[in-house]
Amino acid sequence: MKTKEQLGGIYSASITAYDATGAIDAAALQAVMKRNLAEGAAGFFVGGSSGECFLLTEAERIQVFEAAAALRGQANLIAHVGAIGTDEAVRYAKAAMALGFDFCAATAPFYYGFSPKEICDYYYAIAEASGAPVLIYNFPGNTHKEFDVANPDYIQLFRSGAILGVKQTNYNLFQMERILNLNPDLIAFDGYDETMVAGQALGCIGSIGSTFNMMLPHYKKIFTLFDQGHRAEALALQHKANNCMEAMCRVGLIPAIKYELARQGYPVGNARAPFRPLTDEQKAYIDGVLDRDLVTE
């Protein structure tokens, strides 16, 4: 198991690349990953929301793991294996770990009103299948599942050894701090690009972001400046990053990331339906904001 120091840093929440027919394009995904690695990425969060995971078939999700596994040994690799069903998540976990991923992450099972005990059983099963503790992908805005840190089942889960920590894709950073307070061995990654400095201030060892695919040097500067104590400079760059994030969210975050990657010379296909391609007006709008505020080196 890698140390906290080895796991810390900036991680791209990798996109999924498609070719002209809509099939998985391993080479295009690897090109973006290699670029991010050269820019200073510590690792990759593969097959998550930015990777359109729930728009992929089971076979495609494993294809994405296979493509990303080409970077094993060069970067830390986290496989997102979340699913509604435990058996499906377990299959992804076994496949990813067999490919050489460092560990797995998973959203809470959603749609049905699963109880805390059922959600905990899901994480225990993934940990057993992967042979390593699991990073909880805490994204209640999408899963509509909150981790109540006063619930005895969740307290037991966080103290069990089955959990590595949390990817806090939640504006409630107090909740993240309370989760870390339950077990000093847990780690946390900030999961919202726009709250990076706040996450660092409350104990995150790193940050996992969707826009890092196409603006990693900007966030690397924020992370490094804050870590070195240059907080005013870090916050100024965070404001600029948030201008970019706000613009992309207004037009559709995943389609915007893919459009900007293509504009930077890394064509990765369009986001899958029901996502819609950007209009010319939307493209011009985000181009203007990014050309003004994005730091590229």
Active site residues: 137, 167
> What is the DSSP annotation of the chain?
---HHHH-EEEEE----B-TTS-B-HHHHHHHHHHHHHTT--EEEESSGGGTGGGS-HHHHHHHHHHHGGGBTTBEEEEE---SSHHHHHHHHHHHHHTT-SEEEEEPP-SS---HHHHHHHHHHHHHHHTS-EEEEE-HHHH-----TT-HHHHHHHTSSSEEEEEE-SS-HHHHHHHHHH-TT-EEEE--GGGHHHHHHTT-SEEEESTHHHHHHHHHHHHHHHHTT-HHHHHHHHHHHHHHHHHHHHH-HHHHHHHHHHHTT----PPPTTS-PPPHHHHHHHHHHHHHH----
